[in-house]
Amino acid sequence: MSKKLLLKDAHIEGIRYFETYRKQGGYTAAEKALKMTPDEILEEVKASGLRGRGGAGFPTGMKWSFLAKPEGVPRHLVVNADESEPGTFKDRYLMEFLPHLLIEGMLISSFTLGSNVSYIYIRGEYSWIPDILEEAIEEAKAAGFLGKNILGTGFDCEIYVQRGGGAYICGEETALLESLEGKRGNPRLKPPFPAVKGLWERPTVVNNVESIAAIVPIIDITGAEYAKIGVGRSTGTKLISACGNINKPGVYEIDMTITVEEFIYSDEYCGGIANGKKLKACIPGGSSVPIVPANLLLRTVNGEPRYMNYESLADGGFATGTMMGSGGFIVLDEDQCIVEHTMTLARFYHHESCGQCTPCREGTGWMHKILKKIEKGEGKMEDIDLLWDIQRKIEGNTICPLGDAAAWPVAAAIRHFRDEFEWHVKNPELSQTQNYGLAHY
């Protein structure tokens, strides 16, 4: 059984309220941290090996150490709660059921970074969560854990919740900052990075909800102890939101030493494929990461078991591996049509492109049109090569990672499931009435 650090108290009734959270030992990590110096806390975070849980997996301690500290210029912590990546809903779970874990993590992080005004930017579709967060902020303030002169340390901290308007692109950190400033959420060119010029051109750290929540157990048990959980550079625990054709969709906390096979088939986690079907493929890190067929998902090309951690999932690069990404684990059974699935994703990315760069603005729409054509049985063999060519021209040629996020699913689908694309082209009549998966199994 995986060790639980974040969700250990999630089952306790009333844990979303201060009184119950406090009774369970809540805010003791904050009390401990506020007796340390910001540099000491930073060293603990570095020692923990925590990697950003939003998708990129960049070391959090290193990110914090890049924060510029010019004299007299305010600094900010911004929590990215935009969580719009299809298949990902673990931050929603944390905010809905354990809001004080996030607030406590924010207090410790704000103290470390010197942020007196910190923000939570939350996606508009999570319409009921801002009230939960604001209530938790008020409770923490009433108990002296936010506001002026927190616990007599002289440190002041306010936290504000800002609702987004429902644009996927506002999960990209610079688009988020633009939106937080009241502007259209267009990603900025980098450099300068937010650590130097972020919110209102002030040094800013943008971190995912889960990353900030993880600061609480790190301070609680120490960075060194946190680093002992997991394996290699995949330290600590990770939240996975599992969905698709499985028996037990939900949010699970894993310690990154379990195999993918165990995660899918064990009753402790996904409980196997629904309706007794066979596993066909999986997207383990949110819709932007490459899809992998069952044979490469359960084992690497060397026949080694594939593990639920950053390194093992990526083993073999994009040719045979994938990425941990945001931890949005989407499972597809044998009945699913990969062409239809890829077309749905292409439509999403085209709709969500902000339109600033040509390869993304035009390429995503072009890919969607071609995929629609193939899926309807109106495509030609050369369309598959054209699709491959378009995704290659998008990847790496855009301002922000949305371009890559749109290209990778198409590339992986063609790489691993070209036969399905060809079936649609060769069987125009069948592909209008049948799903490839259902027709083949």
Name the residues that contact ligand SF4, by CB under 6 A.
169, 187, 353-357, 360-361, 398-400, 402-403
Cis status of the peptide bond prior to 99, with omega within 30 of 0: no
167 neighbors 356 (Cβ within 8 angstroms): no
Pairwise CA distance, residues 196 & 230, whole Å: 32
3-class DSSP assignment, residue 329: strand
Q: How many CB atoms lie within 10 A of CB 138?
A: 12
Give the CA dihedral 286, 229, 9, 86, nearest 10 degrees: 0
Pairwise CA distance, residues 352 & 364, whole Å: 10
169 neighbors 185 (Cβ within 8 angstroms): yes
348 neighbors 365 (Cβ within 8 angstroms): no
User: φ, ψ for residue 140 (rounded to 5)?
Assistant: -65, -35
Locate 179 and state its tokens. 């939106």
User: Whose Cβ is closer to ligand SF4: residue 1's or residue 189's?
Assistant: 189
User: Whose Cβ is closer to ligand SF4: residue 44's or residue 395's?
Assistant: 395
User: Whose Cβ is closer to ligand SF4: residue 234's or residue 288's?
Assistant: 288
Locate 410 and state its tokens. 């198409």
User: Whose Cβ is closer to ligand SF4: residue 43's or residue 404's?
Assistant: 404
User: Whose Cβ is closer to ligand SF4: residue 251's or residue 406's?
Assistant: 406
Least distance between ligand SF4 and beta carbon 178 (Å): 11
User: Whose Cβ is closer to ligand SF4: residue 65's or residue 397's?
Assistant: 397
Least distance between ligand SF4 and beta carbon 174 (Å): 9
53 neighbors 327 (Cβ within 8 angstroms): yes
Cα 165 to chain centroid distance, Å, stands at 19
Least distance between ligand SF4 and beta carbon 362 (Å): 9
User: Whose Cβ is closer to ligand SF4: residue 249's or residue 365's?
Assistant: 365
Least distance between ligand SF4 and beta carbon 352 (Å): 7
| Helix segments in 114-251, DSSP class H | 129-142, 173-180, 209-221, 223-228
Locate 300 and state its tokens. 């690497």
The residue with its CB nearest to ligand SF4 is: 360
User: Whose Cβ is closer to ligand SF4: residue 198's or residue 359's?
Assistant: 359
Pairwise CA distance, residues 248 & 267, whole Å: 8
